[in-house]
Amino acid sequence: MARSFSPQAVSTLSTFAAQLGLDLRLAADGSASFAFERSGLVTFTPAVDERVVMSLAALPGRAGQAADEALLASAGPDLELDRFVHAGLDREGRHYQAVSFEPDDFDAQAINRCLDRLIDLRRRLE
C-alpha cells in the first residue's frame, strides 16, 4: 500500500505548485513531481511519521566514475540547511540528491530553500 501525504503536506505542496503557476497532481504511488528544464526532476515522496522526502534527479553534466564519486561525496550533513543530504544514482546514470522534512518544518519557504541548495550542490558537481 502506498503512503500518502498528510493534509498539511498536501496544502504545502499545493502552495509550492501555485508559486510555479501549476496545479498539484499526485501520482498513483502518492508522490508529486515537478520537471524543470535546467535543474532536473524534483519529486516529493511521503515517508513514515508524516515526513516528506524531496529529491532532485538529473543526468550529470559530465559522465563517468569521477562524477559519480563526486556525487556520493556530496552526501552528509549540510551546515547551510542543517539537514542531512542523501545522494545516489540509478542504473541509467541519473544522479539523485535528497533531503527529508519533519512535519513541523515542511512549508513552501523550506522547500524553496532546500531546492535552491540541492540545485547549488548539483552545479558544483559539474
Map out the domains of the chain with their CATH numbers: 7-125 (3.30.1460.10)
What is the per-residue pLDDT for 66?
85
Read off the pLDDT of residues 1-33 as tens digits, 9 standing for 90 and up. Answer: 578 999 999 999 999 999 999 999 999 999 999
What global pTM score does this model have? 0.92
Q: pLDDT by residue (tens digit) across 37-93?
A: 888 999 999 999 999 999 999 888 777 788 889 899 999 999 999 999 999 999 988
Q: DSSP letters along 39-107, please?
A: TEEEEEEE-GGG-EEEEEEE--SS-SHHHHHHHHHT-EEETTTTEEEEEEE-TT--EEEEEEE-GGG-S
Residue whose C-alpha is closest to residue 13's, from 23, 3, 4: 23
